[in-house]
Structures are given as structure tokens and as C-alpha cells.
Chain A
Amino acid sequence: MSAVAPARPGARTAARVAPQPSPQSQPQSRPSTALRLVAVPRAAAARLPFALLVAAILGSGLVALLMLHTFAAQDGFTLHKLQKQSAGLADLEQQLTVANQQAQAPSSLAARARALGMVPTGDLRIVRKRDGRVVAVATAVAVVRPAPKPTATASAAPNAKASSAPAAKAATKPATKPTAATKPAKSRAPH
């Protein structure tokens, strides 16, 4: 501006000079001016690695995020698959449990016992342990055969605990004493 102000009368010249300053001439013409273009930072060369680093961090972050999501989704799929498998197995277990219960039902047990040649027990022979007295007498079972054990139905076994010893004794000779006295009138035919 200092150059322009005195040249006011010759505005044309001033106008011609003003647009002319070239980058080369400026520092030479005004070396002592306070305003100086800031020098290009030396760090310019170091920028590239930094940018790459940032890019790499961002990139790896993105990749990590993507991986995380992928894994989460994959886990989701695995979970879904395993849940399905678990449900299938639970269904199977339930089905087998029911089949087991049906096989345990008294009617099917009785049918299978009959198929094996078993017969229902008559009256139990119960011997009192204290004095060895027979307090209940077993009546003969109708069928005489080398039948396996007393024909204990599933229920009788656990409940016979209290008197298991007498019961076992009774079982040894169930068919040997079909005396008339112990035989109750079991005839089903009405008189």
C-alpha cells in the first residue's frame, strides 16, 4: 500500500504496477516486512506414514468391527443350529420317556409277564420273624410249572420290603401245600 499511496496522480502507472508483483520479486522488494509467508513445514515428508497409520487404524478397526459382527452373526447361526438340535433331542427324549412309561404301565407289564409264562400270586405266606409263626398262608397257584420266582408284579416287589424274608420263604414252596383248608372258595360260578 505504501507504494500505491504516493502514486495517486499517476493512477494508471500504479495500476499497472500493482497487478504485476511476481512471487520472485516480492520477497526482494520487501525483505523487511513483518508479514512473511510461513515456510512450508518440514514435517510434510512425515505426513504420509502418519496418514497411512491412521488409515491402517481405521481400516483395521473397520475390519475388526466387520469380523466382530461376522462372528456374532456366526455365533447366532451356531446358536440357532444348536438350539434346533437341542429341541430335536428334547423331543426324542420326551418320546422315549413316554414309550418307557407306556411299557411300564401295569397292563403292558402284565401282558408281558403272561407272555413269559408268569402267573399272579395267590395269597402270600407270611411268617412272623419274632416267633417263626405262619401268620398268613399262601394258597396254591393254579399253574404248576418251573415258573421263575414268585410272579411278583412290579408293584409287589418294592412294597414287600418289610416282609421280604417271609415272602421269599413263601415263594420257595408255593405249590406244595394245596391243602383243602387253606384253599378259599374261589369259585366264580354262582351257586
Chain B
Amino acid sequence: MPASAPPRAARSPGRAASGRPSAARAGRPGGPGSPRRRPPAPPGPDPRFRLSVVLIVILFVLTLVAGKLLELQGLNRSSYSQMAEHQRLHTVTITAPRGAIIDRNGVPLAETVDARDVYADPREVKDAATAAAKLAPLLGTDASTLTSKLTGNTTFAYLARAVAPTLATQIIGLDLPGIGVLPTTKRVYPDGRLASNLIGFVHLDGSGAEGLESKLQGQLAGHDGEQTFEAGASGSPIPDGRDVIKQARPGVTYQLTIDRDIQWKAQQAIAAQVKAVHADSGTVIVMDPRNGRLLAVAVAPQFDANSPPTDVFNRPIDPAVSDTYEPGSVNKVITMSAALQEGLVTPTTPFTIPPQLRYAGATFHDAEVHGTERLTLTGVLAKSSNIGTIQVARRLGAQKLYSYLRSYGFGSVTGTGLPGEQQGLLPPVATWSQTSMPTIAFGQGIGVTAMQVASVYATIANGGVRVAPSIVSATVDGNGKRHPVAPAAPRRVVSTDVAHELSDMLESVTTDEGTAPAARIPGYRIAGKTGTAQRSVNGHYSGYTASFVGFAPADKPQLLVEVVIQNPRLGHFGGAVSAPVFHDVMSFALQSLGIPPTGTTPPKARLTW
């Protein structure tokens, strides 16, 4: 034994090292009698016991691990995997782009662009005053307003809605705690005042609020899609991760019949004249009489669709179709055309016009005091004689007059599809009183919209065939495919011959002897009619409605312009107040569309006999 001890120590220094202390320990209590003996097993725990303890500990730990594993993978498996999925999976809505509204040349009148909402979480804002000072110049708002929003007792507050993305990038660049941006969209009207009476505007959430935006909401909006993808902590997608995209269905784009430039000119002209004659309001309608397409529908006053006034909901935004008024003398053309169509008169039929006329117990006058006049039917129209018109209407009879008024579209909506369109007021013939027939014959006692009157003259310009006015020329679906909208089905109201006779008669209105020489455009043949009507306000007459409606070239009509000015205080005759606007808009539109004069000479009309 003693011989084996040194080699062992030498062979395994580790063991020797571990053995040494035990030897020392054993040596100390052991007497001199046992120095050569191998020290007995230390009095500590038995190695097997130690093994068992370690084993038990390991088993215990393993059990815990297994238990946890069981819990994670077995018992709460679905909830944990759901939590994990929630962490990884991100679902973002793909907003369907709202359809644009474009003019007849494709110029956008309303379109949707990307934008950002800027918000704050006031709990996370560190230094509200500094943050507000930094944000105020960028957002263009007051620093104190911002400070109060940043210190509010909420967890979320909008600081600005629908700002430009580049501005949002600048704001993110400031790296302010508690300030963030959210993607959104913004409806932009490149020219906010252009055709806003037609287009309307949208709510803050982007849905249509007024006008065509509201009326066509269902088609303009489209259907949102969504994308579900797995992303890492940074938010960037995990390569090869799940990525499911449900594409958005873009909204339908509407192409209107409106011509941006003519619309602008019409708005300019009517706004200037409404101001100049101190009128309440005004309307201009420009139409292609051949197909009923509206090239401009201008009203004054006009609002800015980019920042609609708060009171805009209190009144209809498009008086051209929603404002009902008594048409006055422009209505005489219906009486005349009915009598011509029925073969009761010809353009040269002589009429003797007394200074005043008693009919059914009432006395009727003309607009200007005159002695007894000898006028042809053309003269009656050119000079806009009420008395002459009553004489024509007497030959015609109430029933016939009523049916022609209906036939021209009075008492029913014109079919533009514009929201808020009124059908006007045309009482059934059975309810007419004795004086109804003469007054309606020259345009008092019925209510019409400017669009209805435009349609009457478009019918005459179009050779007696009525085509309902329309505002939408085509739709463009999400794939960019264009679907043209056909004009409404034409309907004959009077014969071509009668329409041409009427057109010639209307041309005499713009001669020096007529009521509207101011409507003349040198070189072009212009047919038209003035209207100076008393306005019915809350059941009694107050003020006037001055109007002029005409078309050019008279022998080959391609454009129709109607001007209606409500309650002018400086002057009130249609020929003085509205005809100059007609002249400006018509000449601009003729130039703009490149419509040349026909070069023919107007027939020499006989107004007297």
C-alpha cells in the first residue's frame, strides 16, 4: 500500500489535490498510529446520498420544466400561441382610394390624396411647452392651444387632421415623446370654389356630406381591403412570414360634363354681376342643347369646398336645381310654341295690343306704358308683350297650355340627377282660377327651376326634341376602364318647323328693336329671351327675377346659356341685368370650344304690321 500511494498521486494530480485536504483533516485527529493508512471516507454525506439528492433536485427541476412545458404546450397552448400570433401578426387596413371627380377634359375637380393625422398622448409628453413651441410653426396653430391639448387629461388628442405627409415626416423628425402620426386620406379640391355647388364636399372622415360627393357616396367610396403579415419587433415584415393581402376595391371615378374653364368664366361673370347690381343671388347654366350635357352650372354666392362654411347645411348648395322662382317672360315661348304647334298662329299673325287688357275681372299691363300697338306674333315675343301673350293664350286655352307646360318638363324634375333637385310648382289645370291661364301664359303664378327653363330653350334649340340635361358623361372603374353614360332618350315636344320658327322669332329679341340687344355677339346669330318676373317671397311679391336665356349660333345651335339673377336692386330688366352676363359667358364659351360663326344672315323679321 505505501508503495502504491506515490504513483497514484503522481498519476492524478486532481485526485491528489482533492485527497490532500481529507488527508490533512484525517491526519489531525488521527494519532501517530495511523499515518500510513488511507484516510477513511470523510464524515460528510454519503456519495450515494449526494447523488440521490442531486438526482432528486435535477428531477425536480426537470419536472418543473416539464410542467411548464405542459402548461405552455398543452394546457394554455391556444392562448399562448394566440398571444404570440398577436405579437407577430399585424393587420393593416388598405384604404380603398375614393374615386375622383373630373371634368370633361379629365382635369380633376375633386381627388383624394394621402395625408396624416397628428396626435398626442398627453401622458407620455415630457415637456408640453417646448413640444408646443416646436410644433406650432409646423402645424400653423397657436402654441397655447397646442399646450392645452398636450397637457389634457386624456390618452389621445388630435393635434392636426389630414396634414401633408412631408409635414408629418418633419414632425416625426422632431422625435418628441408622446407625439405620433396616423395615416389617413384627404379630399382635395384643386380649385375649391370651382363647381362646388355641384360637387359638394366631404365630412372629416372622408365620406360625402353634400352635393355629388354625398349623392354618389356608395360608388365613390369603394371597398377597403386589408393586409395581414408577420413582423418583427421593429415592425418590419419577417421574410417568408405569413402575408395575406385582400386588395382594396377602388372607388369609381366620375367624369362630369362640366368644362372647367367655362364653369370658371360663368362663376366669375355671375359673381361680378350679382355684386354690381346688388342682387341676392345668381345662376348661370351652360348646356349643349344637342345632348343635354351641362358644361357649366354656376351660382353666386359660391362657397369654398376646401373649407365649407358652417351654415352651408342650412340651405341647398345648388340653387340652379333647388331654387324655385316664377319664370316671367321666358315662359312666353311655351305659350307661343304651343299656339304655333296647334296651328292657331304663325310668326306673322297680327295682334292689336291695347295699353291695358281686362280679362276675367283683372287688368293686365305691359312692362312699359304704351299706346295701342300693332305687333306680329314675332313682335309680341321680341317686345315681350304680356297683353299680346294673353291674346295668344286665349286662342290656345288653359288645357292645351297646361299640357305643353308639362310636355316641356315643368312640374317634374329635369333628370340631371343632381341632389336636391326640385320639380317646381305647376298646379293641375283643374285647380286653375280664371286669372291663372293669362298669368301663367306670361310666366307668373308657377314655380320653376333655372334648370327647367334651360331645358325648355334647349328643346327649341334642338329642333323641338327634348333631351334631359345630364351632368355625368362617364364613369371610370377601379381598373381604369371608362364606361360612357349615354344621354337621356330624346323626346319630341314640338315639330322641327315650329322650333325653327321660334328660333327665328327669338333672334329678333337681340335686335335693336328687341328687349336684349346687350346679348348680341358680333358675327354670331343669337336667339334668346329676356325674363323680368316679380319674385314671390313668402306669399307676396317683392323684387324681381331678371333672366336671359339664349342659344348660339341660332341657325345651328351648339351652346345654350341661361342667366338668372334674383332680386337685383340696381335695375331689374332681364335685358339690362342678365343679358350682359349672357354675352360674356356665351362669347367665352364659343371661343373656348372653337365654335365658328355660321356666316349666314338672320332673316328680316317683321315685328309690326
Contact = CB atoms under 8 A, between A and B. Distances in A.
Taking residues whose C-beta sits less than 8 angstroms from the other chain, chain A's interface range is: 35 or more
Contact of B239 (A76, A94, A102, A128): A76
Nearest to B570: A190
A160 B268 CA distance: 22
B261 A77 contact: no
A185 to B, nearest CB: 5
A154 B237 CA distance: 48
Nearest to A77: B236
A71 B591 CA distance: 64
A102 B194 CA distance: 11
A106 B239 contact: no
A94 B114 contact: yes
Contacts of A123: 521-523, 587
Contacts of A139: 522
Interface string A99-132: 0011011111010000000001111101010000
A119 B188 CA distance: 30
Contacts of B240: 72
Given A121-B591, A156-B592, A184 B518 contact: yes
Contacts of A156: 261, 591-592
Contacts, number: 140
A190 B522 contact: no
Contacts of B261: 106, 153-156
A155 B260 CA distance: 9
B422 interface: no
A149 B240 CA distance: 64
A47 interface: no
Contacts of B521: 123, 136, 184
B592 A159 contact: yes
Nearest to B577: A190
A191 B190 CA distance: 39
Nearest to A133: B599
Interface in B563-609: 568, 570-573, 576-577, 580, 583, 587-588, 590-594, 596-597, 599
A91 B185 CA distance: 11
Nearest to A184: B520
Given A73-B239, A162-B594, A95 B166 contact: yes
Nearest to A71: B239
A128 B518 CA distance: 25
B191 interface: yes
A36 interface: no
Nearest to A73: B239
B253 to A, nearest CB: 15
Contacts of B164: 91, 95
Interface in B105-154: 107-108, 111, 113-114
Contacts of A101: 107-108, 190
Interface core residue of B164, B190, B259 (most chain A CB under 10 Å):
B190
A1 B522 CA distance: 141
Given A123-B523, A190-B576, A163 B596 contact: yes
Interface core residue of B259, B262, B264, B276 (most chain A CB under 10 Å):
B264
A113 to B, nearest CB: 12
Interface string B229-263: 00000001111100000000000000000011110
Given A98-B113, A190-B568, A107 B193 contact: yes
Contacts of A145: none
A170 to B, nearest CB: 11
Interface core residue of A73, A75, A92, A136 (most chain B CB under 10 Å):
A136
A133 B597 CA distance: 12
Interface string A126-152: 101000011111010000000000000
B197 interface: no
Contact of A72 (B114, B239, B577): B239
A76 B518 CA distance: 72
Nearest to A166: B596
Closest 9 CB pairs of A and B: A190-B571, A136-B523, A155-B261, A105-B191, A91-B165, A106-B264, A101-B190, A80-B236, A159-B594
Interface of A: 72-73, 75-77, 79-80, 88, 90-92, 94-95, 98, 101-102, 104-108, 110, 120-124, 126, 128, 133-137, 139, 153-156, 159-163, 182, 184-191
26 contacts: A75-B239, A80-B236, A88-B165, A88-B169, A90-B114, A91-B114, A95-B166, A102-B191, A121-B591, A123-B521, A123-B523, A124-B587, A124-B590, A133-B599, A135-B599, A153-B592, A155-B592, A160-B591, A163-B594, A182-B522, A184-B518, A184-B520, A185-B518, A188-B273, A190-B277, A190-B577
